[in-house]
Amino acid sequence: MRAHFPNAFIKGVDISPERIAICRGRLLDAEAGRTQFEIGVSVRGEDAAVYDAVLAMAVFRHGQLGDYAVTENRLLDFDRFERAVTDLARTVRPGGYFVLRHSNFRFTDTAVAAEFETVGYAQCVSPLFDRSGARLPDQAREAALFHKR
């Protein structure tokens, strides 16, 4: 992230204290003022419309759904996914970007997606499921980059 955004304030949030400890351990002193890591399960405490870009990379997924023989998702709940991405989307400023990759659900199936325009696609490497849990047909690429109106 820092290589791509040399001057940005960057905040990383993860539910895992172990992973946050690894991130903090890797943080260079020179980065400390503009890079933060936080243990957390949601971004509900963040102010609205403050971030230029919010990325959720390989978070909304389950390894056992990676088996292409799975036709029904009984492991992840769409409503929880929708609540989480709605919280994330709230923190994106108008004109900013939301990135969703390697998810087992589609951002475009959520109500909050109406506030965004899809502006980028990427190779789809994870099986996708609809709101009811039914497996969607395989697709070569997926919507991945969303611009907030």
Ligand X SMILES: C[S@@+](CC[C@H](N)C(=O)[O-])C[C@H]1O[C@@H](n2cnc3c(N)ncnc32)[C@H](O)[C@@H]1O
Residue 80, phi then psi, degrees to nearest 5: -65, -40
Residue whose CB is less far from ligand X, 27 or 149: 27
Enter the tokens of residue 24.
Answer: 């903090």
CB of residue 132 to ligand X, shortest distance in Å: 22
Cβ–Cβ < 8 Å for 24, 68: no
Residue whose CB is less far from ligand X, 13 or 124: 13
Enter the tokens of residue 79.
Answer: 């409503």
Residue whose CB is less far from ligand X, 87 or 109: 87
Residue whose CB is less far from ligand X, 16 or 108: 16
Which window, 8-16, 46-54, 64-72, 103-111, contacts ligand X (CB under 6 A)?
Answer: 8-16
Q: Is 71 in the site for ligand X (CB under 6 A)?
A: no
Q: Is 3 in the site for ligand X (CB under 6 A)?
A: no
Residues 6+ positions from 58 with CB-CB distance below 8 Å? 101, 102, 103
CB of residue 13 to ligand X, shortest distance in Å: 6
Report the first-to-last Cα separation within the chain, whole angstroms: 24
CB of residue 149 to ligand X, shortest distance in Å: 26
Cβ–Cβ < 8 Å for 111, 82: yes
Q: Is 16 in the site for ligand X (CB under 6 A)?
A: yes
Paired sense of beta strands 51-57 and 92-101, if any = parallel
Which window, 28-36, 55-63, 129-137, 141-149, contacts ligand X (CB under 6 A)?
Answer: 55-63
Residue 110, phi then psi, degrees to nearest 5: -95, 155
Give the residues lining the site for ligand X (CB under 6 A). 13-16, 19, 41, 57-59
